[in-house]
Structure 1
Amino acid sequence: MSEELTTAAELFDAIGAGYEEAFGRPPVVDAAVRELLAVLPPSARVLDVGSGTGRPVAADLVAAGHRVTGIDVSAEMVRIAREQVPGAEFVQADVREWESEPESWDAVCAFFPFLQLARAETERALGRIAGWLVPGGRFALITVPSDVENVPVDFLGHSIRVTSFPADALVERVRAAGLEVTGTRAETFAPDKPGAEPEEHLLISARKPG
């Protein structure tokens, strides 16, 4: 195990394409993308928070004709995504600081970007995301639900600190941000990497009223 990496940018710069090799297409991610594709208007504007390598999320949305912008704290992930999904725009940015016009996105995806944020930071990010959505806009959030805060774990050979919420508590925080929760889905996923432990994935689907 390497020395502890203190930021998500350092972690994902180090992992790079290895993340996609290990995690591929988790079933809950496929389910979230299918849900979005079933309800989005044509040429929808979609923001992918924590866009990673660009696959499968941005790639699938672009292939369906949607206009995708991905933001990620990792310069290496942004480089890979730009190469793999040239039809989307990718920006190196932190969701805690990135600015967007109110009501400018038809959908926002946030697949695993909050696990290295403090709980208060996640709550603020959810509120900001709700403000960025158009009335009727869709929000899809995926995480590893757990009642943990700043707990050290091994992740693909790196020691990191993780914070999360139990499933019910996170659902309540999505509602507190002003969004209507339309459904949840839980799956157990085993990464394709020797020694990687199975983990629970939780999808929270939501809609901005209006």
Structure 2
Amino acid sequence: MQALSSVERGYDLLAPKFDHTPFRTSESIVGATANALAGLGPFDRGLDVCCGTGAGMRVLSSLCQGRITGVDFSAGMLAQARSAYPDARWVRADARALPFTEDADLAVSFGAFGHFLPAERPALFEGIYRALRPGGLFTFAIAAPPPLTSVWHWATLGFDVVMRVRNAVWRPPFVMYYHTSPVPALCDELTAVGFTATTVDLTDLGRYRDGSPRYRLILARKPPTDPL
């Protein structure tokens, strides 16, 4: 039922059991992100974009001294997140039209970018840029492309093919792709909206046999004074 629904309706259906599925961001990724950010603060307010059931709140609650906020467009996912973090602020909104202006010092996102087509990401990044205070940081972990000889490469490629066929023959579409968010393109898009984008290897999460990292952390910093 989830696979044949829209993204929003699908996650409403999945929400009660989402944390027990492999789709939830693993604690190892959340922990590695928190460790990598520990020396980049201090941060006051935090924002988890496409928060789902609240995986990113572990990062924000450990690093932010002020209010932390989660935003998602699935009411079901927000209900699960609210029960886990009752003291946080929760906002239901489309991430492509975020209702915040200079509201956070640190913004994070986990496991969401496969749900946005490349043409939709500029609006997403512009909204996050607007939501950050001058000097604020937006960061997210992203899996590095596995080697062509990796089973994971072919498994994710096959998944993308199946989803494209599904979306070609069934409405509403369910957007979820693994191979539409290459790191160079993401950095270029972040730079285009005003961020200074860099990457660091999340070595806590291991490397492939060729020595390349399994995950990278993208760090997008808003200038201390907005040139606009």
Provide the TM-score with structure 1 as the length reference: 0.75
Residue 151 of structure 1 and its aligned partner are, at CA, apart by 5.1
* Rounded Cα–Cα distance in structure 1 between residues aligned with 2:215 and 2:90: 25
Contact 2:201 2:216 in 1 (8 A): yes
* Rounded Cα–Cα distance in structure 2 between residues aligned with 1:35 and 1:67: 21
| 2:39 partner letter | A
1:104-150, Cα deviation, whole Å (9 max, x unpaired) = 310111222232222121111112211221222111123457798x8
Please, which of 182, 186, 194 is the counterpart of residue 178 of structure 1?
194
Please give the secondary structure, in 1, of the residue aligned with 2:96.
coil
For structure 2, the residue ranges without an aligned partner over 5 or more in a row are 146-155, 165-172, 207-213
Contact 1:52 1:81 in 2 (8 A): yes
Q: Please tell me the root mean square deviation across aligned C-alpha atoms, in Å.
A: 3.1
1:204/1:3 Cα in 2 relative to 1: closer, same or farther (>3 Å)?
closer
1:39/1:84 Cα in 2 relative to 1: closer, same or farther (>3 Å)?
same
Structure 1 match to 2:113: 114
Provide the TM-score with structure 2 as the length reference: 0.70
* Rounded Cα–Cα distance in structure 1 between residues aligned with 2:39 and 2:33: 10
1:17/1:37 Cα in 2 relative to 1: closer, same or farther (>3 Å)?
farther
1:77/1:201 Cα in 2 relative to 1: closer, same or farther (>3 Å)?
farther
1:151/1:179 Cα in 2 relative to 1: closer, same or farther (>3 Å)?
farther
Structure 1 match to 2:140: 141
1:74-120, Cα deviation, whole Å (9 max, x unpaired) = 1111111111111211122111223112x331011122223222212
* Rounded Cα–Cα distance in structure 2 between residues aligned with 1:11 and 1:2: 4
Structure 2 match to 1:34: 35
* Rounded Cα–Cα distance in structure 2 between residues aligned with 1:96 and 1:151: 25
Structure 2 match to 1:54: 54
**Structure with the largest fraction of strand:** 1
Q: How many residues are treated as equivalent by the alignment?
A: 191
1:74/1:39 Cα in 2 relative to 1: closer, same or farther (>3 Å)?
same
**Structure with the largest fraction of helix:** 2
Residue 2 of structure 1 and its aligned partner are, at CA, apart by 5.8
Written as runs of structure 1 = structure 2, the 5 A alignment for 1:92-111 is: 92-101=92-101, 103-111=102-110
1:206 aligns with 2:220: yes
Percent identical across equivalent pairs? 28
Please, which of 166, 170, 176 is the counterpart of residue 162 of structure 1?
176
